[in-house]
A and B are shown apart, each in its own frame.
Chain A
């Protein structure tokens, strides 16, 4: 097993009373595509900024290559690249000027600057825009340029904060293809997102909510934990059924998926048996059911509804009320 590149031990950040990141412990191995998942305000950006040495952790420690992310921040800076959530390059500089600036800033040797610039321009499909002002690029190209600037010094680790947020599917795909290529070439990727389909593409994910790490593992393992708790039923009218089901004890989630109702329950099997004996909804018509494979969307919902406890991937023994 490859060694851990990034290690977090009870890493925490408070802003006044607000615990933006609350005792997160996890480790990310070299070569992983690590997806850091969570809703807006979950604490993803704050965690990345702590790892990049931009803000001081209030408690706990984080290390990259064994170096402390705050105390040794001036020493680790040349090893990683950082693509922030908000576009932040020099709008009045051209694409080429931005790249050459960051090449200089990252101490790329001057004789190599030209070749490196050409390489990232080519890799990121920015060749034809080299002399365009960065501020005039469209959203997708801005993001590609931001990634290009973060890659100019060939880092071994790349932090990307919601790189695909707000992009069209073509650019999203382009960015994911790039992530695969980088990963293939040995770069470790730490990417945050709130798109669950993107979570499927990661080799490992961490799921944060309210500053706490609720789950950490490979998508396969996380989905495995949900097996047997997921059932799809065909009921009419589906919308009414969704709201009725959500009130039912033993059901943690009910959502519409392609006209069917997907139910997360502690013991769906038992539910089915009881329904065969007595169907409790006189106004609803039961048409059939089938067992489904959980996807990351389901995992996300299960975790955010408190169905799973932060420690251990087992269903919580206590029944939690459905949270809207």
Chain B
């Protein structure tokens, strides 16, 4: 039978190892809230603004000036003085901007003559987000300008024309007036109505920090004992492998639950992120930590030296950071990569956490993720305990 006295002995000893290692203590107390603070600010807002840009008005017509005034009212641009050749090739890089806009000569006249000329826009596509946003802002401004002009036009139509128009058949008249009003979409935003990115990214931040800390902390525990020689001492005692695994996981579980609480506190107090259904979130955190710790322990019982354990941890953590959907929706990844990312505990943690916190989901909608985390936890802990059992060196 599993003995609680034995588990307690190991858990106490493991806790003392961490507690007496002042440097590690300092790191795990200070880093999680600090990282949450840092990453939180880094990912607080995803809307693009203050793109360095420059414009050249070769037209100098009232129309072009009117349009540019509308454009300048948008805060997406941070206008710089023009630098370059407005006719030939524009070198954004040397000009130090990400967008250049040229109003071609005769633009205003073209609008009046029924022959609108395109505005020239040169955009930096190296960062894939900026160019589409700038283009969208340009289109939007152009649309605004166009409907303003149309309103002016209708306003100034002579009465005779209006009377003339009334002679048109009713359906055509309706269709015509429909064409003259801007069509619109009525958007209703659910789940994250303020569209604040921080609410979306918070579980990613919390999960990533905890993933990092749990795996690296526990990954060195068995290998350290192996290196120092205490593992042989452990193995000649009648301790069961399951007792060793439980005893080692327990203190780290308690420590990391505290760490999660501290990051969540920063998220709530500093960034104003609300956390819903605390019980469901706690279960998610608990299973996620258990899986991560099991994984760390598995790495630990598999490696021969501490250096090896840390290296393996890093090789594991790197894809987790990039592919677990902590900072960007998984839907953007290609299918095979997505399947691979389904293997990471962080993926399921982030999804379950968001479902609960943003979608206010019921437990049934995250049952799959929770089950995966639970199975992973059992599997890794059992694996670590099996590896301990067959040690022969």
Contact = CB atoms under 8 A, between A and B. Distances in A.
Nearest to B231: A88
Interface stretch (B4-12, B63-71, B259-267, B353-361): B4-12
A104 B122 CA distance: 73
A105 B17 contact: no
B16 A54 contact: no
B10 A105 contact: yes
Interface stretch (B90-98, B109-117, B169-177, B233-241): B233-241
A153 B350 CA distance: 48
Contact of A82 (B8, B230, B233): B233
15 contacts: A54-B232, A55-B393, A74-B238, A82-B232, A88-B228, A88-B233, A90-B230, A97-B13, A100-B9, A102-B233, A103-B9, A105-B9, A106-B237, A106-B238, A110-B5
B6 A107 contact: yes
Interface string A36-58: 00000000000001001111100
A71 interface: no
Contact of A78 (B230, B238, B391, B393): B238
A33 interface: no
Interface in A85-138: 86-93, 97, 100-107, 109-110
Chain B CB within 10 Å — which of A53, A77, A80, A101 has the most? A101
B21 interface: yes
A88 B3 contact: no
Interface in B235-250: 235-240
A211 interface: no
Given A92-B21, A104-B6, A54 B229 contact: no
A294 interface: no
B5 A104 contact: yes
Contacts of B236: 52-54, 77, 80-82
Nearest to B390: A56
Interface residues of B, number: 27
Chain A CB within 10 Å — which of B8, B9, B234 has the most? B9
B17 A54 contact: no
B5 A93 contact: no
A90 B13 contact: yes
A278 B236 CA distance: 63
A86 B238 contact: no
B333 to A, nearest CB: 44
A84 interface: yes
Given A88-B228, A104-B10, A105-B239, 10 more contacts: A52-B232, A77-B237, A84-B233, A86-B229, A92-B17, A102-B233, A102-B237, A104-B5, A105-B6, A107-B6
Chain B CB within 10 Å — which of A55, A74, A78, A104 has the most? A104
B392 interface: yes
A104 B233 CA distance: 13
A230 interface: no
Interface class of chain B by DSSP: helix
B20 interface: yes
Contacts of B238: 74, 77-78, 105-107
Nearest to A152: B237
Interface of B: 3, 5-6, 8-10, 12-13, 16-17, 20-21, 228-230, 232-240, 391-393
Nearest to B233: A88
A20 to B, nearest CB: 13
Contacts of A103: 9
A238 to B, nearest CB: 44
Contacts of A110: 5
Contact of A101 (B3, B12, B229, B232): B12
Counting from the closest, the 9 A-B pairs by CB-CB distance are: A104-B9, A88-B229, A105-B237, A78-B238, A77-B238, A82-B236, A56-B392, A92-B20, A88-B230
B82 to A, nearest CB: 67
A52 to B, nearest CB: 5
A149 interface: yes
Contacts of A77: 236-238
Nearest to A149: B233
B305 to A, nearest CB: 16
Contacts of B20: 92
B6 A90 contact: no
Nearest to B241: A74
Given A56-B392, A78-B238, A107 B5 contact: yes
A149 B234 CA distance: 11
Contacts of B8: 104
Contacts of B234: 105
Contact of B232 (A84, A92, A100): A84
Contacts of A89: 230, 233
A189 B372 CA distance: 51
Contacts of B393: 54-55
